[in-house]
Amino acid sequence: MPRPAAAPGREPPALSPADGEMRICALIPAYNEADVIGDLVAAVRPQVAEVIVVDDGSTDGTGERASRAGAVCLRLDPNRGKGAAVRHALPRIASGGFTHVLFMDGDGQHRPEDVGSLVDRARASGADLVIGARALDRSRMPRSRHFSNTVGSRLASWLVGQAVLDSQSGFRLARVDRLLSLRLRSRRYELEMEVLIKLCRQGGRVDHAPVALVYHGGRARSKMNPIRDTIRICLWSLAFRFGP
């Protein structure tokens, strides 16, 4: 299998199974992101074997633009939440012969040029989950987002017994076999903590790769409610860790 073409100005990661072992699928849940999804898909496609976009009940043509950019587009209707969108794509991932799945958000907060950092770290460390860790710089983040990310990371570190630098980062690279072994139930933004906690309970290894901190005009595009969803994530995290 030939290597994928390089993105402009970058060498492609060695993703061919013949070269190493890694065959990566990018998974992007998206809700009303028509203005950015096409460019995101186009930039990520050369670096992975396949891009899957789950159009989570969008009303602005997100799915159509993702498909035109070359993604495999799955549709949920009505909107069901990030966790439900990711779970909807798992059967497709399971049947695709992929070794790893790259999680990215559809709102433009994850830079395609940082994909190589996660791939290189996974290859070097053999970790089951590599988290794209942002420098949580209070001066460059909305105050509410800094609070939710800091609280979540401290809680995650306590629950899994190791340092977690950015628990709410949706920019991750996970081994498919490990991911499919987890019985996931999340519907919304508690997904990241569920995957992290349940993987660690199974003895999975977690590592981090540095990625850029991106906010648009000082504001996050994310649809997450920093207070309501942080409380929800914390409560569900306790259930994931101490429940059956």
Domains in the chain (CATH in brackets) are: 24-242 (3.90.550.10)
Average pLDDT on 225-237 reads 83
Please report, as a single letter, which amino acid is at residue 42. A
pLDDT at 168: 83
Average pLDDT on 185-207 reads 95
Average pLDDT on 56-65 reads 97
- Tell me which range, 10-14, 27-31, 211-215, is most confidently predicted by mean pLDDT: 27-31
Q: Which residue has the higher pLDDT, 157 or 101?
A: 101
pLDDT at 147: 59
Cα dihedral across residues 204, 210, 211, 214: positive or negative = positive
pLDDT at 128: 98
Q: Which of 132, 143, 137, 147 has its CA nearest to residue 206?
A: 132
pTM of the model: 0.83
Q: Are 173 and 130 in contact (CB under 8 A)?
A: yes
Instruction: Report the chain's mean pLDDT, rounded to a whole number.
Output: 86
Predicted confidence band of residue 97 (pLDDT cuts 50, 70, 90): very high
Q: Which of 124, 104, 86, 88 has its CA nearest to residue 24?
A: 104
Q: Which residue has the higher pLDDT, 223 or 53?
A: 53
Q: Which residue has the higher pLDDT, 166 or 146?
A: 166
Percentage of the residues of the chain whose pLDDT score is greater than 70: 81
Average pLDDT on 46-74 reads 98
Q: What beta strand segments (E) does 80-217 contain?
A: 100-103, 129-133, 172-175, 206-210
Percentage of the residues of the chain whose pLDDT score is greater than 90: 67
pLDDT at 108: 87
Is residue 12 predicted with pLDDT exceeding 60? no
pLDDT at 146: 55
pLDDT at 9: 40
